[in-house]
């Protein structure tokens, strides 16, 4: 069982990656951020993050905001003017911390939640040519959500569909707010078997879709009704689904 494909509506966040800038001995700044998500609304128009340098060396940090990629442009990087972040650059001494504020400039969306990505990354500095260390820089990628004026609606549609690579469990977020997906489970009630059980940690935006391959469900299997359950931070969503690959 494996994850087969995803639209741009689902994305894992809160990670940090490192990039090497020299050779031989490796050393990295230890940059921590809390919280790992920003939630804004009409009542909470400003969010505050704390960036900590738990290492010993100074680090120059840069903060930027981009729109969440659209489904037809999954790798697009588009800056946004809907939000304001301050400061955008700062030097962080070893053991020090810095408050970063993210504010909503305009009005909240009316019907559907808006989503953005906050990038907090270390800016590489020039090193001595004869250095024997490899400097690793850190990049954090965090989600920013702006709740709509309308009440949140959490609704999903799940089905077993068919494609050239076989049967798959397809999930579609039909609500107006994101879902933080923690686990997807598929149960065959008659035999009490579990054709699919995936632990995940991803955000599914409104209108977003995801699909997981079902290696134990044959494309020509009979029309058995399964119970699919999506476990999310917003609650669990059970649904009866049938194999459509017949």
- For the chain, what are the domain ranges? 12-146, 156-242
pLDDT at 166: 78
| Strand segments (E) across the chain | 3-6, 10-11, 15-20, 25-28, 31-34, 38-40, 46-53, 59-67, 83-86, 89-92, 97-104, 114-122, 133-146, 156-163, 166-173, 179-188, 193-204, 209-213, 225-232, 235-242
- The Cα–Cα gap between 114 and 32 comes to 26
Q: Characterize the bridge pairing of strands 31-34 and 166-173.
A: unpaired
Q: Do domains 12-146 and 156-242 have the same CATH topology?
A: yes
pTM: 0.83
Apex 65 CA angle, 17 and 100, nearest 5: 80
Residue 118 burial (10 A CB sphere; 0-12, 13-18, 19+)? buried
Tokens 């741009």 sit on residue: 8
Digitized pLDDT (tens) for each residue of the chain, 246 residues in all = 445 445 546 666 555 555 444 333 444 558 999 999 999 999 999 999 999 999 888 999 999 999 987 555 555 677 888 999 999 999 999 999 999 999 999 899 999 999 999 999 999 876 645 555 656 678 999 999 999 999 999 999 999 888 777 788 999 999 999 999 999 999 988 888 888 899 988 899 999 999 988 876 655 555 678 899 999 999 999 999 987 666
pLDDT value at residue 129: 52
CATH of domain 12-146: 2.60.40.10
pLDDT at 1: 46
Does domain 156-242 fall under CATH 2.60.40.3970? My reply is yes
| Contact between residue 183 and residue 198 where contact means Cβ atoms under 8 Å apart | yes
């Amino acid at each position: 069982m494996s994850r087969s494909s995803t639209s741009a509506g689902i994305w894992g966040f809160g990670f940090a990656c490192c990039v090497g800038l020299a050779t031989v001995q490796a050393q990295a700044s230890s940059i921590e951020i809390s919280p790992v998500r920003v939630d804004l609304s009409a009542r909470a128009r400003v969010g505050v993050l704390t960036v900590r340098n738990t290492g010993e060396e100074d680090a120059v940090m840069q903060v930027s905001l981009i729109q969440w990629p659209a489904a037809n442009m999954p790798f697009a990087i588009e800056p946004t003017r809907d939000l304001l972040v301050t400061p955008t650059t700062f030097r962080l001494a070893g053991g020090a911390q810095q408050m970063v504020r993210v504010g909503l400039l305009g009005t909240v969306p009316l019907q559907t939640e808006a989503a953005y990505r906050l990038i907090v990354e270390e800016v590489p500095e020039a090193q001595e040519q004869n250095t024997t260390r490899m400097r690793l820089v850190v990049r954090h990628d965090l989600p920013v959500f702006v709740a709509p004026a309308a009440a949140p609606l959490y609704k999903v549609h799940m089905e077993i569909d068919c494609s050239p690579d076989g049967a798959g469990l397809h999930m579609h977020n039909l609500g107006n707010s994101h879902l933080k997906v923690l686990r997807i489970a598929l149960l065959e009630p008659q035999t009490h078997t579990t054709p699919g059980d995936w632990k995940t940690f991803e955000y599914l935006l409104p209108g977003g879709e995801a699909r997981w391959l079902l290696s134990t469900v044959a494309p020509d299997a009979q029309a058995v009704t399964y119970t699919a359950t999506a476990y999310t931070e917003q609650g669990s969503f059970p649904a009866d689904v049938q194999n459509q690959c017949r």
